[in-house]
Chain A
Amino acid sequence: MPSLSTLLSLFIDGASYGMILFLIASGLTVTLGIMRIINLAHCGFAMIGGYAALALTSWMGLPLLVALPIAILLTMAIGFLLEQTIYRVVYRTHEFGQILMTLGLTYLMVATINLIFGSLMQNIPVPEPLSGVWLAGGLTVSKYRIFLVAVSAGVALLLWTTFEWTTFGTRLRAAIDNPRMARACGIDVGRLLSIAFAAGCGLAALGGVLGAQMLPLEPFYALKYLVLVLMVVTVGGLGSLKGSLLAALALGLIDTFGRYFLPELGAFVIYVTVFAFLLIRPRGLFQNA
């Protein structure tokens, strides 16, 4: 049995991993909840954000904390543009067409990133004050991981308040529950969706930049972590931010602990868990959509 400090540091690793997954998945669950579109390209936006931050820090020498907002805004702009153009077509096609079109879009993203940045795995260096570890008792904690958990918890809180306490959030929830009824009440669902889409891209970009330590940047990023992000959304329940948060944390923890205690099985543990869970609750944790 490992010591308490090992367990604690495993817990922090798992939690920060889960929070990154949540940041990436949060936008997807909202757009999925409204439009029922399986947007396979969503993980690509996290990749675009990560690479934008990489370009800003290593090519232009900006500090990470300056590069981060610029990268997020850039990704949101790209997401908004794509939503206004290609996704208009995606919305109109049949369900399988949507899956394929967004898959095609993902391939285009992978190819573009590879053309600009090359196929090597890249890392965004952690800024000086956040690198290193804290020693507390027998416990060693990476400062960056704590920073990650804090930032993402803040973002999650912000999201939750927007979702529950603002008019915009109310409209969004109405659109997720019943898009036609929401439209009949005079809510401009299309505009709402565009905003949610762009915001989701920004959140994914935030996750992509901050999580570059755990999910290293490479051109196939968009496909490699797609399955995990989709699982977070499905396990959490479509359109449920609360569900996604819980699912992401659970997945992050199970994966981290699974890899530690059953290293020979690797990622197998997490997929078995998700598969079994979906069999019992096919509509996820919170079945509000």
Chain B
Amino acid sequence: MRELRDPSALPEMRSALRTHRLGWFEVVMLAVFAAVYYLLPGYLPLATQVAIMIIFAISLDLALGYGGIETLGHAVFYGIGGYAAGFYALYVWQEPISGLLVAALVAGLFGVLSGIVVLRAKGLTLVMLTLACATMVHEFANSMRAITGGDDGLSGYRIDPVLGLFRFDLFGRTAYVYSVCVLIVVFLLARIVANSNFGLVARGIRSNSQRMQLLGVPVLNRLVLLYAVSGALAGIAGALSAQVTKLVGLNTLAFTLSGNVLIVLILGGIGRLYGAVIGSIVFVALSDRAAAIDPFNWLFILGGLIVLVVWLAPDGIVGRFSALTWQFRKQERKP
């Protein structure tokens, strides 16, 4: 009965009921992003990739970490967002921010449609359906060579200056600042969603969907909504990548990307949003270093890393860290 009297005794409850203020983590992150801009100008393209990866991983964290939606095809939203932004810039308007919104809308809409059909399933079937859905879209984009460019990818569009003021420069300064700003907005949005009543309901569904159903929560409805929000954020990540690199390739829809973003999230730790940040930094930095040496050796490092992380720190780096600090605090409290 101790848990009932003191809700903070359960780690799940503790994280759900904690008041969510902006803490030291956000301050440190902002400082790091600012420092990179001034101190490491040569690494701005890489840092932009990190920012985009963080957005993508945050979107997956909402679906997987909060809603428990096990997906092996999250790249589908990233790719759809990317292609949407590409087509928008190519045929409609070159303004970047409206491009992001359009991509978010298209990806979110796809999230609703695919969510309605896919999210009825659970467990292995859900994993397979998301995988089949992503592969289907990948193959579709591949076969529509005339429109999507097939293997060569979609390119040849240009993007107007951000807000009509900041032109995308050769050194990637605008791209970096633009991506970081989008990241901040997405991070705050995701926090609001995660800490809202809706976010609590999602966690409830992850823990025990049957019970939530009995409590009168329209489970499928909520899951579809969460999936759509997550998809829209992933679409923003894809669109950002499309605008910054001026290229949308088929690899934005590929299984490897779905796998990589999962790895990022597990590396950092799921269900806490911070994990996405730490995981992305570690992943992109490692992949850049290792790929510079030899792309195949990178797979050695990546494969070994995943096996070790799941083995030794199943909750990810952040989870390991917070578990340690929690133990430490508990010991402190004991006389």
Taking Cβ atoms with an 8 Å cutoff, the residues of A that contact B are 32, 36, 38, 86, 89, 93-97, 99-101, 103-112, 114-115, 119, 219, 223, 226-227, 230-231, 234, 238, 264-268, 271-272, 274-275, 278-279, 282-283
Contacts and interface: CB of A to CB of B under 8 A. Distances in A.
Contact of B136 (A36, A96, A271): A271
B91 interface: no
A223 B135 CA distance: 13
A111 B306 CA distance: 14
29 contacts: A38-B124, A93-B310, A95-B123, A100-B306, A103-B263, A106-B303, A107-B300, A107-B306, A108-B303, A108-B304, A108-B307, A111-B296, A111-B297, A111-B299, A111-B303, A219-B296, A226-B255, A230-B128, A231-B128, A234-B124, A234-B128, A264-B143, A265-B143, A266-B139, A268-B139, A275-B129, A275-B136, A282-B120, A282-B129
Contact of B125 (A104, A105, A283): A283
Contacts of A100: 262-263, 266, 306, 310
Nearest to A235: B128
Nearest to A101: B310
B328 interface: no
Contact of B307 (A105, A112, A226, A238): A105
Contacts of B297: 111
A234 B307 CA distance: 25
Given A93-B311, A230-B131, A271-B136, 12 more contacts: A99-B262, A100-B263, A100-B306, A105-B303, A108-B304, A109-B303, A111-B297, A227-B132, A268-B139, A268-B142, A268-B143, A278-B121
Interface of B: 64, 70, 72, 117, 120-121, 123-125, 127-129, 131-133, 135-136, 139-140, 142-143, 255-256, 259, 262-263, 266, 270, 296-297, 299-300, 302-307, 310-311, 314
A271 B255 contact: no
A94 B305 CA distance: 17
| 7 closest cross-chain pairs (CB), A and B | A104-B306, A107-B303, A108-B303, A111-B299, A271-B136, A268-B139, A111-B300
B306 A238 contact: no
Given A103-B306, A227-B135, A275-B132, A93 B255 contact: no
A99 B128 CA distance: 12
Contacts, number: 123
A278 B121 CA distance: 9
B285 to A, nearest CB: 18
A279 B117 contact: yes
Contacts of B124: 32, 36, 38, 234, 238
A107 B262 contact: no
Between A95, A106, A111, the greatest number of chain B beta carbons within 10 A of the residue's beta carbon is seen for A111
B300 A96 contact: no
Contacts of B140: 268
Contact of B311 (A89, A106, A115, A231): A89
B143 A266 contact: yes
Contacts of A95: 70, 123
Contacts of A101: 306-307, 310-311
Between B127, B128, B139, B270, the greatest number of chain A beta carbons within 10 A of the residue's beta carbon is seen for B128
B119 to A, nearest CB: 11
A227 B131 contact: yes
